[in-house]
Chain A
Amino acid sequence: MRMSGVIGVILLAVAVVLLPVLAGGQWVRIFTSTACFALAAMGAAFIYARLGMVSLAQVALMGVGGWVFLRLNHATALPFEANLLAAGLVTSVLGMLLALPALRMRGLYLALMTLMVAGALEIVFTARQFPNGGTGFWGVATSFSATVRRPLLGQSDPAYLRYSLLVMGAGFLLIEAHRRAAPGRAWALIRRSEAAAIASGVNVTLYKTWAFGLSGLLAGLGGGLLAGSLGLLDAATFRASESVLLFALVVVGGARFWFGAVATAVLYRVAPALLNNWGVDADLALILFGAALLHAVITAPDGIAGQILGFVGALRGRMPGVRP
């Protein structure tokens, strides 16, 4: 895993340098969206892999981040970074509130509970829409949308892609740092047995809440970044069904590894775009996702990421002088 982390940082550096230069205008946009959803996917993946908890509200939480970001952008003159951080923190707090029932519920019941939160948020987003520079608490104007400020280092679309990739990388490193420190050990114990964790003096309440907060933070950052990229958001992006789809793709991508989250986001945003470009109906992607999910559930419990690791492991095993 240490090796995979180093490779990850190298790949991120390569992507930050090359992607904005090599990709055309359309693909710069697609990769920016992909980076935003990769953050959210990482949030859902890590609480699933570390705590075995299923969150079906991750895309809806992105919507919360996007809402806060847009509201602050239009209401204040704060810089982009401050708005983005606030979006992450507010969503993180909401994520922690979501964790309260998680302390008592498990498995299917917890998943259903988060799905209901996603459904409730969908209704709020549809009824209230996203702020676009209007007055009042909801900030929705019926006339021309006000402009959304971008970061100093991300004014153009390619520069914004670079910026989004860096935020994504920072989010991934935050998760990795947690995994290696006390919270990671506590989560591992809780996953094995909550009773054992309590007996060992682990504060289960704190660490579960912390995990949900962290997951919410990543979703909020993703939502804020997406809002900065598009300038406005639409309720249709954050439907409850999208949260379910993202979680299904987390399973397909592989929840245990960072590149699983990247694979998830690539499936979620790049695959439909490719189909669109080939002139095939992008809804076909849903059928492919269904097949991929079946495949993952039946034969690849660690998803695409697990299969990549297995493949690399097999290659190394064949190389002379390298122990498998």
Chain B
Amino acid sequence: MTMRVLRKGSLKTAAMFGAGMIALAASGGAGMAAVSCGANTGQAATGAPVKVGGIFGNAAPGDFSASTTAARAYFDCVNANGGLNGRPIQYLTENDQWNPELAAQAASKLLKDEKVVAMVGNGSFVEMAVNAPTYKAEGVMTMASACAVSECFESPNIVSTNQGPLPSTVGAAQYMVEEKGSKNVSCIGLAIPDVGPWSCGAMEGYMASKGLAGSSVLLNPASPDVNSALLEAVGSGADTILVNLPAGLAIAFLKAAEEQGMGDSYQWASSTPLYDRTVPEALGAYWDGKMYVNAEMTPWDKGGPDAVNWLAVMDAYAPKEAARDSFSQSGYLSAKIFVDAMLALDPATLDDRAAVTAAITAIKGVTSDLMCGPYYVGEADRHMPNHAGTMVVVKGGGFETVRDCYEYDSPYFAPIFEQEKALGLR
């Protein structure tokens, strides 16, 4: 799907929601949608800045900065529209470069030196595992957006807008079993214990619970060998190969499969990283109609005020080449929910981390067209508000929805459902 077509489609859908929900205007004939951010005053915020932090990982084997880039774009937009009661958000981001030492240093810098009041938009494989205890000790709430490790979903001070690889992988496997008759799924993940083994292991658990077979192939993140991973998957006797890797690595893996002419011999699925609008072009016509991808956030062409506003904010405030993928949607939504909560907070307590943490913890039942279910935080030792997704297939240079919002079926979600019952959300 080209950018031009996408924008036209978005405009058309947004128009249906009416001007009251989102204002559309043609600016200078460019056809760009007007953005809606924060208090929407149109006046730049000039007061003392409110410091907010974010940590992303960008180094081999992948770039997870889409979430902080989108959060920054939204914050910039908010700052141009009245900020937080006249005060701009100073968004400080650090790159952990997939390195635990750097991740710990980044958190210390943001929390102890810069004294940020909250962390928003975090996206990494490493950072949360190292820093989860620090977030708890510092009494700060982290509204992550591209979280990929178990700690993101199983610790008290992190709540992530994205689902993480576990639900996304289970969701993809569930679709392949229910709709495509898969009997034996091989999951290709990264050999980081709380990433690949955690999520692919849950997929194996799901398959076992249905009396079917599942296996995992784990790649060394430092020097991933896609060809041997492919052979291992083939050797497992699988009929379906489920790619659970960062986008760049997943594409390399699929290119290797294409060279071997395996596209039609197996069924193919992926967790959310392949839901990026540049991916169909990168994959090429070979994968058209073959590759089924689980999208953690709703499809970007589904329409709805947030879906339209997200793209408009990205076009207006993010670099042109910035990714428009699930993690970007997630970063935007985390930032928006954070800003809405801060606008409702007593302005005098904006610099008080405890008050900000309490306000974030109190978030409950926020709905957005970017998510299938409601977003909430609450006081709990684990958080996973987003656990229902959409299944799409690579088609005609873009994506086509094959199953709209559906809840995943795994024993893993039982404690989360209990939590939602207690909060009156279920």
Contact = CB atoms under 8 A, between A and B. Distances in A.
A24 B112 contact: yes
Contacts of B198: 142-143
Which of A145, A147, A282: most chain B Cβ within 10 A?
A145
Contact of A234 (B105, B126, B133, B150): B126
B44 interface: no
A273 B100 contact: no
A234 B113 contact: no
Contact of B113 (A24, A129, A140, A226): A24
Contacts of A233: 100
> Looking at chain B's contact residues, is the secondary structure mostly helix, strand, loop, or mixed?
helix
Interface in B52-110: 95, 97-102, 104-106, 108-109
B420 interface: no
Given A126-B191, A126-B222, A142-B201, A237 B112 contact: no
Interface string A8-32: 0000000000000000111011100
A140 B192 CA distance: 10
A26 B194 contact: no
A141 B97 CA distance: 23
B201 A232 contact: no
Contacts of B99: 234, 236-237
A141 B201 CA distance: 11
Contact of A142 (B98, B104, B133, B194): B194
A232 B109 contact: no
B222 A236 contact: yes
The 6 closest A-B pairs by CB, nearest first: A25-B112, A25-B108, A26-B109, A142-B198, A24-B113, A142-B197
Nearest to B222: A236
B100 A235 contact: no
A254 B100 CA distance: 28
Contacts of A127: 191, 220
Interface of A: 24-26, 28-30, 33, 126-127, 129, 132, 134, 140-145, 147, 157, 226, 229-237, 239, 269, 273, 276, 282
A25 B133 contact: no
B306 interface: no
A311 B426 CA distance: 74
B109 A129 contact: no
Contacts of A28: 108
20 contacts: A25-B112, A26-B108, A29-B105, A33-B101, A140-B193, A141-B194, A142-B193, A143-B150, A144-B155, A230-B100, A230-B130, A231-B130, A234-B99, A234-B100, A234-B126, A235-B222, A236-B222, A237-B99, A237-B101, A269-B101
B343 interface: no
A231 B151 CA distance: 13
Interface string B120-140: 000000100110110000000
B280 to A, nearest CB: 31
A231 B133 contact: yes
B374 interface: no
A32 to B, nearest CB: 9
B105 A26 contact: yes
A95 B101 CA distance: 25
Contact of B221 (A157, A232, A236): A236
Contacts of B192: 129, 234
Contacts of B129: 145, 232
A230 B113 contact: no
A238 to B, nearest CB: 11
B221 A129 contact: no
Contacts of A239: 222
Given A29-B104, A29-B108, A232 B130 contact: yes
B111 interface: yes
Contacts of B155: 144
Contacts of B133: 147, 231
A257 to B, nearest CB: 26
B150 A236 contact: no
B404 interface: no
